[in-house]
Structure 1
Amino acid sequence: MPTELEELVDFLGHENIQIRQIAAANLTVFSSSQPSLFKRQELQPIRVLKVLVRDHPAIAKDALTMLINLSADGQILRCLADDDAFLEVLMAKITNPEEPNADDIAMLLANLAKAESFGRVVSLSRKNVDNVSTSTNALNQLMDCFVKGAEGALNKKADYDYLAYLFADISNTEEGRKFFTTKQDYDSVIPVTKLLVFTEHSSDIRRRGVAWTMKNVCFDVPSHPTLLSEDDDTGASLLPYILLPIMGSEEYPDDETSEMLPDLQLLPPDKKREPDNQIILAHLETLLLLTTTREGRDRMRQVQVYPIIRECHLHVENEEVREGCDRLVQVLMRGEEGEENETEKEAMARALALSGQQPGAILGTEENKEGDDDDDDKIVDILA
């Protein structure tokens, strides 16, 4: 005999809208604490919730909340992510500027991106969306929602911030990295460049997701020349957008400032460093990835990346960040194999003296940690 809660779950599919609404409103909390309630009868409640996403906005919001919470379960995640028809429903709704639950859909899509099958969104075609995107590619459409929709500019009831986490997961795949580094035919823009301006956005969700996307993209070593290039037509000019967040209001000697990238010179006295240490660490790891090639190392030395890392090391009292600085400095300041670089050695000694550190304190021996960050594996979970 079914329990009262199981009977309430059954009411989700009731033909009376008021009964559906009461059931949905009262079940949201249990979607997090008792997911087994929704796995009965071979996931029949999940199939009902998929339908309710298209119901009255209040019911749809509760249905989305439940699916966001329930997608933490692997079986349910696969059921949602593998469903082409359901994915199309979500795409149609999130690209509608009048959709009241667009942010909830963004959260659900961010969770679905954890599923391996969701990678098909990179090449998924659908009709273009007037006033949102002229592209017929689903991922391009989501990118355009994210860029155009910041701070309610596209949809007054949504900011699309959680799509940043979706991009981070997509960029974990080879196909995703190729997408983000390939100029798109519909607008002749390299997708990753659309995200760069958000490295100093007010939303920590955007900053975090964009930071991890940039880091993941840099695992594609063949794309490094494009990512480092400052050519307006062919390059992504990644460096200033990685370095700006880790800079504060510190003053640098004229000889260092004059060689920095133009965007990093003469920063205002109230310039604030990124407050989230994990985001700073992600940017440091991105820079470390860009040192994989000789071209990358030489470019960073040329534009005085070292002094910026030196100041970050001095002013951020966080062990992980300082270790990240150590690893990067170890690569930047050592001479190339078979070469002697006295200038770099002298600069290193001077910086150590200024910082009060003993030789070896910054030049650590810890190996580069290239594993996934915890945030890459998080499922967005919300409670009623």
Structure 2
Amino acid sequence: MSPKHIVFKKISKDKSVGVYMGKRDFVDHVDSVDPVDGVLLIDPEQLKGKKAYVTLSCTFRYGGDDMDVLGIAFRREIYISIRQIYPPLQDKEQGILTKVQDKLLRKLGVNAYPFFFEFPDNLPCSVGLQPAPKDVGKHCAVEFEVKAFCAESQDAKVRKRSSVRLMIRKVQYAPENLGPAPCVETTRDFLMSDKPLHMEASLQKQTYYHGEPIKVRVKISNDSNKNVRNIIISVEQIASVVLYSNDSYMKAVATEDSGDSVDSGAKLDKVYTLLPLLANNRERLGIALDGKLKHEDTNLASSSIIKEGVLKEVLGILVSYRIVVKLIVGGEVGVELPFQLMHPKPDTVKESELEDEVVFEEFKRTNLKGMAEDEDEGNVSTGEH
């Protein structure tokens, strides 16, 4: 039997507008991004002559909305695009519809209208920094949102009862063409030692999936007169907040303190296993996480893949990972192995395989503890930046 198609919906409190979307995750393929498409259902009696609009926005938040330090606004709209959906500016029959839109329009009737947005190619992916356990305000995050509302004009004040807001995500998956497995080596000479210490560290591949153990092979030839007293291997996450001050946060998200030693003149060839998981880093402030929807759990942020030629300054928060191998030899001898941590690309259902039956699921706004669902009321910014 063909899989049923789940459609996420959200209706305004006064029933004037409702949004229906076939998915909440939109994939950044680096060279292109899935367009945002859906259907707006309006109630002409509730609209009372007003117009209906849909916006797609990308917002960078830094701390709570009420924070303002040295005149710096901690909430910035990176991008916003607005469409007037009703009254329609073009005939419904003229537009090119996705299969989901076509099914929804037939199911919802004459008061349903399609909408469509293209992402620009220079927007960041959905990612945020983990707040402290007691924080209840907005944390540092890049967020995407679809908002529908009715008003006399796009610049008029919007009543909360006449609007709906839907959190969506822009995500990246592991590339199909994987790069070479990382391998690095170093040689260290010591004072009063005729021969050096040599170390080589390598991974089995360049890209690992969330929840997958990472095996690190460490080979040491200690021809020096020093003793290696300990070997420490860690997975480090580097989150660079590039939009404002180019701050970088480096956090070890998995560590293996092996206690292994390598005496002078000895060798070692050993594989160490590390498993970077959010579950082991719940209490740590500043860990970068993938954006989440509803009250679903999330995971450590995926590595950022940047399209060539795009200015990094507009990309919000960039995330990368590396394995660090340190030898304790009086001082430290260390090497770094950059790698990618991502989700595999999920199996997609072809539109032609979908059943005619559509299953509706309520679309809830992500809430942080202590926050109301709709936190602002007022003018909706317009224009495309």
Bigger radius of gyration among the two: 2
Instruction: Say whether the fold is shared (TM-score over 0.5).
Output: no
Q: TM-score, normalised by structure 2?
A: 0.21
More strand by share: 2
- Larger RCO: Structure 1 or Structure 2 (Cα < 8 Å, ≥ 6 residues apart)? 2
More helix by share: 1
